[in-house]
Structure 1
C-alpha cells in the first residue's frame, strides 16, 4: 500500500502543493500524514503515526527526500530503518528519482546524493 507524507517547517507554511502532488499520484486523503514542524527533529506527530501504521510491503511517498529529514544522517537513518522493516520510500519531485523498493546500487546512490544535497542546502541556509 502507498502512504503519503507531507511536511513543512513552520505552521505559517502551506502543505497544499505537496498534498496536491500526493493526491495526483493517487494516494487518498485518509492515507496521507502531515506535519507542520521542522525536519531538524525526527519527533514529529504525523511522521510518528505514519511509521506506526506502515507495514512491510508498504511504500511511503513524499514529494522530496528532505521532507523525511533535514540532514544527511537523519535521512539515511530513516531510509535504512524503514528498509529494514520492509517499507519502501519513493519521491515524486526529486531531480534524481528515489525508489528504495529497488535494491540496486543506483537506488542507494540516489538516496545518498539527495540526502547530501538536502544537508548542504540546510547548512548553507544556517551559515548566512
Structure 2
C-alpha cells in the first residue's frame, strides 16, 4: 500500500514539475550548441579526435550524434 502512495506522489511531482516548465529526468549530457558545432567541424573536414578535443564530447558520443545525419 505504501508503494502505491509513493508512486502516486512521484507521478504528481513529475507532472507539477513539467507543468512549471522544468526538465524531468536524466540531465542532458551535451547541449545542442556543442553538437551543432561538432557537425560544423565535421563538415569542415576535422577528424573525430580533433572534434572531441575541441568540443569535449567523447568520440563514442560523436559517432552517435554524427551518424544520425547520414540516415
Q: TM-score, normalised by structure 2?
A: 0.31
Higher RCO (C-alpha under 8 Å, 6+ residues apart): 1
Q: TM-score, normalised by structure 1?
A: 0.20
Identify the structure with the greater helix proportion: 2
Structure whose alpha-carbon radius of gyration is higher: 2
